[in-house]
A and B are shown apart, each in its own frame.
Chain A
Amino acid sequence: MSSDVRFTDFKSDKQPTWCPGCGDFGTMNGMMKALAETGNDPDNTFIVAGIGCSGKIGTYMHSYALHGVHGRALPVGIGVKMANPDLEVMVSGGDGDGYSIGAGHFIHAVRRNVDMSYVVMDNRIYGLTKGQASPTSREDFETSTSPDGPNQPPVNPKALALASGATFIAQSFSSNAQRHAEIVQKAVEHDGFGFVNVYSPCVTFNDVDTYDYFRDAIVDLDETDHDPSDRDQAKDKILESEKEYMGVLYQDEDSVPFEEREGVEGSMAEIPDGAPEGAMDLVREFY
């Protein structure tokens, strides 16, 4: 079946309610392409999303999906994958969802290294609540709740990931369709937690981090001599605060996913009609 799957098979018949021009359209298209390219189909794919404009993604895609509560998509994804490693699990959400309310889960999902991908639509603003500062907003970015700017430096999610032991860190830009799809595809193919931060501009509330800004600022790593297997090089690039990179910043080719290390074999959905064979031994342990 997989060979016949086209990326449009991952499209639902629900029209997105995103503002015209929103970066999330491009981000989603890339995700669907990556899934189709990697031989998945909607019936073996599970999308988990958080809350935010970005979190609506599960509604516009066609697959098994769960749209949960704000900031908790990663644990849901981990549970899905642990219970059925045969599924292709992709988690997605915004920068507020992932790095603010969900920051704790982010660090732990990274270090747990379950084989799934995490695509964050980073627009450096809270879109759905109509324009407040997000954890990736610039220090002087004026918003309704931070008239003088947040007055604190933005988080650097890629540095957070690297420090937490990430095995795959990438940066992408939603309007660069071909490259973006490629990068997400690499995250999907990675054996472990494939983290992609996607610059996905909010055309309604963010007039600083715009398409034009990213287009000018972004440097494609493929056009440099960057070696993603070299953690030190990745660290230097990630900590260069003035630069915006696109591409795979770091990948550990020897990564072994958590569920594999834990010896999870196949789906946990199948259970017998009664207590499992040998269950009486559990009682005898208490003699």
Chain B
Amino acid sequence: MPEDLNWAIGGEAGDGIDSTGKIFAQALSRAGRHVFTSKDFASRIRGGYTAYKVRTSVDRVESVVDRLDILIALTERTIHENEDELHEDSVIIYDGERSTMQDVEVPGDATALEVPLKRLAEDAGGAIMLNVVALGAACEVTGFPIENLDESLEKRFGDKGEAIVENNKEAARKGQDYVQEEYGEFDYDMETTDEDYVLLNGDEAIGMGAIAAGCRFYAGYPITPATDVMEYMTGRVDQFGGKVVQAEDELSAINMALGAARAGARAMTATSGPGIDLMTETFGLVATSETPLVICDVMRSGPSTGMPTKQEQGDLNMTLYGGHGEIPRFVVAPTTVSECFWKTVEAFNLAEKYQTPVFLVSDLAMAVTEQTFSPETFDMDEVEIDRGKVVDENDIDAWLDEKGRFQAHFAAADGISPRAFPGTTDGAHMTTGLEHDELGRRTEDTDIRIEQVDKRQRKVETAREQEDFDYREFGDPDADTLVISWGSNEGALREGLTLLEEDGYDIRFLSVPYIFPRPDLTEEIEAAEDVIVVECNATGQFADVIEHDVLERVQRINKYNGVRFKADELATEIKQTLDTPAEATQ
């Protein structure tokens, strides 16, 4: 039995794949096992192949691998889609009584368990519970205590009444009993622990981080895979005195958020590719009006509407360079689900301290991945809030000019002016997207233009001095091979490097969460013989940036078929890259 178990349920969209997978993942998490989930889904509501995959272990799991141990196949296609990941010890659970599944050919030496899912579900009270029958069967195969599944069913169906919960528990028992009677013992024996984990995905972590950080206003327009941020905040932020508004489009969403931020609220908007395009117009206004705003881009594959439900890290340039003119900004890209929480908190602080847009960049793989953490990972007592230079009635006098006018764009040495929330006595002032003087009034005076451009730009310099824009380091610090990555690839790379270590490769790995300003990697790159930058896009946008920074060619591993990196796949690719002469890959 492998230390980690890979489990999946697949079928057609509309078959309840997601909720069934989630029930199992939650049961595992409550049983004190670590969980890492991933989803295969197509951009359609009904029909089309979809799968929910769970990797689970007693130790932490932070990536997916190309191996499936247990597969619940609700359709024949599910088996074909996952054929490559099955092995001789794999177990496939399917309903052999269904007309469409009667001629199913089980690939290789995998074990096929024909379980009459539908019939047993009907016996328990309704065909709709056939997925739960399958879960019960999976519990039997894996030796997972079914009581843990019960708890998860209570959580899922508790609102629907006692009877429904009981029926579901019964359905699971029927699946369990059937497998026991017809097929006997299996090798798997899933351990449980006393740990209590929480299970959440990247979008939820961003939403939770935003609320923790004091975000009170969210405006957005639905788009996969950013919608979950909005859905998470809806209702929840209200409990803390905030509001979510669904705008008519992204142009409106970012402008509403800007308005709220200008009124003094911590505000955020989140979107994905096509939405970030529409928002671009306002990036410059946010920066020029010196309004603190968090703009979250949960990337999916482009260009255009590309593959809306597939992974890509293709918008980096957009967040780094998007918008006409030159825009002082921050670009922060969390590298794990828990970092989605902490970097969101940080994004709000950066936005208010430096009064400029902060791009919080995540991606589809991170957004839909649910992962287990100990609750202390999100210790709310650790959340610090820094609102920057806000002035009120008591200290505003220091910022008034000789005529008593508030200098909202005072050209301070550190580039950061005072901020007065509307409503503050004597603080009334204008702010504009046009170039302006220290009072916020429009000007075309060439000297003032230079003064204000320099002033805004100085914020970035100040931040470089005051903040710690560092990388996260893993592997062997003295290794000759340096791997660099950003965003959600961290987990897969860490595991991939462990696999490589077993094969005798020593690697130093830097996972970079700060895209701009970013750490200076000159020394690290000079100390290495091989430098490989790994990212989910075709052209290597981050590799370009690094080459530019250090004037050194790096090797690249890019993936852009719409699927995230997997640990074993990365190990192989890195090996190939290192074993091929550098010139050949450049």
- Measuring CB to CB, which residues of chain A are less than 8 angstroms from any residue of chain B? 12-14, 42-46, 48, 56, 58-59, 62-69, 72, 74-84, 86-87, 104-105, 107-108, 262-269, 271-276, 278-280, 282-284, 286-287
Q: What CA separation (Å) do A77 and B263 show in the bound complex? A: 10
Residues on B with C-beta less than 8 A from A276 are 211-212, 214, 240
Q: What CA separation (Å) do A104 and B208 show in the bound complex? A: 31
Interface size class of chain B, counting residues whose CB lies under 8 Å from the partner chain = 35 or more
Instruction: Give 1 or 0 for each of B260-273: 1 = CB within 8 Å of chain A CB.
Output: 11111111000000
Contact of A72 among B251, B380, B381, B430 (CB under 8 A): B251
Contact of B385 among A62, A84, A273 (CB under 8 A): A273
Residue B469 at the A interface, CB < 8 A?
Answer: no
Instruction: Give 1 or 0 for each of B196-223: 1 = CB within 8 Å of chain A CB.
Output: 1111100010001001111011010000
Listed A/B pairs (28) with beta-carbon separation below 8 Å: A12-B441, A42-B428, A43-B426, A48-B259, A59-B441, A62-B428, A64-B422, A64-B427, A69-B255, A75-B256, A76-B255, A76-B258, A78-B259, A83-B260, A84-B421, A105-B248, A262-B243, A267-B265, A267-B421, A271-B266, A276-B211, A279-B240, A280-B375, A282-B236, A284-B198, A286-B199, A286-B200, A286-B204
The 8 closest A-B pairs by CB, nearest first: A79-B259, A269-B264, A271-B214, A286-B198, A67-B432, A75-B255, A83-B260, A268-B216
Nearest CB of B to A73, in Å: 8
Nearest CB of A to B365, in Å: 19
Residue B581 at the A interface, CB < 8 A?
Answer: no
- Evaluate contact between B430 and A58: CB separation under 8 angstroms: yes
Interface-located stretch among B66-74, B281-289, B296-304, B313-321: B281-289
Nearest CB of B to A128, in Å: 12
- Evaluate contact between A78 and B380: CB separation under 8 angstroms: no
Q: What CA separation (Å) do A187 and B198 show in the bound complex? A: 51
Could you say which of B199, B219, B378, B387 has the most chain A C-beta atoms within 10 Å of its C-beta?
B378
- Measuring CB to CB, which residues of chain B are less than 8 angstroms from any residue of chain A? 29-30, 196-200, 204, 208, 211-214, 216-217, 219, 236, 238-243, 245, 247-249, 251-253, 255-267, 281-282, 285, 289, 375, 378, 380-381, 383-385, 387, 403, 421-434, 441-442
- Evaluate contact between A69 and B428: CB separation under 8 angstroms: no
Q: What CA separation (Å) do A78 and B263 show in the bound complex? A: 11
Residues on B with C-beta less than 8 A from A262 are 243
Residues on B with C-beta less than 8 A from A46 are 263, 422
Q: What CA separation (Å) do A66 and B253 show in the bound complex? A: 16
Q: What CA separation (Å) do A256 and B263 show in the bound complex? A: 22
- Evaluate contact between A274 and B429: CB separation under 8 angstroms: no
- Evaluate contact between B217 and A267: CB separation under 8 angstroms: no
Q: What CA separation (Å) do A287 and B372 show in the bound complex? A: 9
- A68-B245 contact in complex given A43-B425, A83-B260, A274-B381, C-beta closer than 8 Å: no
- A43-B265 contact in complex given A76-B255, A82-B217, A276-B211, C-beta closer than 8 Å: no
Residues on A with C-beta less than 8 A from B282 are 68-69, 72
- Evaluate contact between B432 and A66: CB separation under 8 angstroms: yes
- Evaluate contact between B381 and A275: CB separation under 8 angstroms: yes
Nearest CB of B to A28, in Å: 14
